[in-house]
Amino acid sequence: MKVLVSVLFFHGLVGAAQAQVPTPGNKKVPSYSVQAGTFIDALLKISTRFELPLAVEWVKSADTLQPVRLSQGETTAAAVLDAVVSSRQGYEWQLENGIVHVYARTLLTDSRNPLNVRVSGFPNTPITVAGANAFLFNAVTEVVRSSLGKVESLPGGGIEPEFRIDVGIDATVRDVLNKIILASKTKVWIATFTSTSSLTVKGYFEVTPMLDPKYVHAEDQPLWIFLRWGDAPWKRLDTLFD
């Protein structure tokens, strides 16, 4: 599959008039190589190198935890993404409003995916990433898990500036996460699902714990995490244990 062509077709961007639109297709480099410990590590390095906001819905498995080794001559971000994403069975990527969205095909439209839950009442006042994350986490946890959880503080330190996003009245969780990374200093969100497709008591796919389960209960585990360009993967993104 020629990913660049399919992406441009998907968004109706075919034509000479669109040649200057900043997309992975026209982010060129004389050469590029990536040496990454895992699929996620490779995606984070590409996102940082080409300054592409990144959204990932993936399943942590023996396959996706294999190293990625890639070296190309003159190339584009689209070609690099094509090579890396196609190296893992069942994965695709699309460009969505300036965000590179990498996903497992089986997850995208499944009604059991918590990212497809629709939320309402998101604040239309200025908010920080931590505040937006807390609101969204609590709203979604109430739907997909047995009880209301409590969001953990975000990494990164410092004081996040406030921003305002227009979510609308019936947006999916995925939509809101995308708006957050476009409006803030966080430029990546990742949702990590289990290879066993385990379900919550309410019938939604459960995520892989990103915090030590000995100290953070399942209902309090983050459903997604945020990263900035240049951040290293969290420890539990790189290891097979849950």
Same-domain status, 79 and 114: no
Shared domain for 127 and 231, answered yes or no, is: yes
Query: What angle, rounded to 10 degrees, do the helices at 173-183 and 129-144 form?
Result: 170
- Tens of pLDDT, residue by residue, the chain (242 residues): 333 333 322 333 333 333 344 578 777 899 999 999 999 999 999 999 999 999 999 999 999 999 999 999 999 999 999 999 999 999 999 999 999 999 999 999 999 999 999 998 899 899 999 999 999 999 999 999 976 555 544 444 446 789 999 988 889 999 999 999 999 999 999 999 999 989 999 999 999 999 998 999 888 999 999 999 999 999 889 887 65
Q: Total structural domains in the chain?
A: 2
Which of 38, 72, 107 represents a domain boundary (last residue)?
107
Nearest residue to 136 (alpha-carbon basis) of 226, 61, 60: 226
Rounded Cα gap, residues 230 and 59, in angstroms? 22
Residues 140 and 191 in one domain: yes
pLDDT score for 22: 54
Q: What is the pLDDT of residues 154-166, one digit of tens each?
A: 444 446 789 999 9
pLDDT of residue 168: 82
- Look up the CATH number of the domain holding residue 43: 3.55.50.60
Same structural domain, 153 and 227: yes
Q: pLDDT (tens digit, 9 = 90+) per residue, 162-193?
A: 999 998 888 999 999 999 999 999 999 999 99
Instruction: Based on the fold, state whether residues 55 and 117 are members of the same structural domain.
Output: no
Statement to judge: residues 123 and 213 lie in one domain? yes
Q: How far apart are CA 70 and CA 225, in angstroms?
A: 26
Written as one string, the DSSP assignment of 86-146 is HTSTTEEEEEETTEEEEEEHHHHT-TT-GGG-EE-----S-B-HHHHHHHHHHHHHHHHSS
Same domain assignment for residues 31 and 120? no
Query: What tokens appear for 84 in the block?
Result: 């890396």
Please check whether residues 166 and 213 belong to one and the same domain.
yes
Same domain, 136 and 33: no
The reply to whether 124 and 225 lie within a common domain is yes
Per residue in 97-106, pLDDT (tens digit) is 999 999 999 9
DSSP string, 170-201: SEEHHHHHHHHHHHSS--EEEEEEETT--B-T
Same domain, 96 and 181: no
pLDDT of residue 91: 97
Half-sphere exposure of 151 (CA within 13 A, CB side): 21
Residue 10's domain comprises: 3-107
Same domain, 160 and 184: yes
| Predicted local distance difference test score (pLDDT) of residue 242 | 56
Q: What is the pLDDT of residue 208?
A: 94
Last residue of a domain, one of 107, 142, 164: 107
Q: Which of 53, 78, 107 is the last residue of a domain?
A: 107
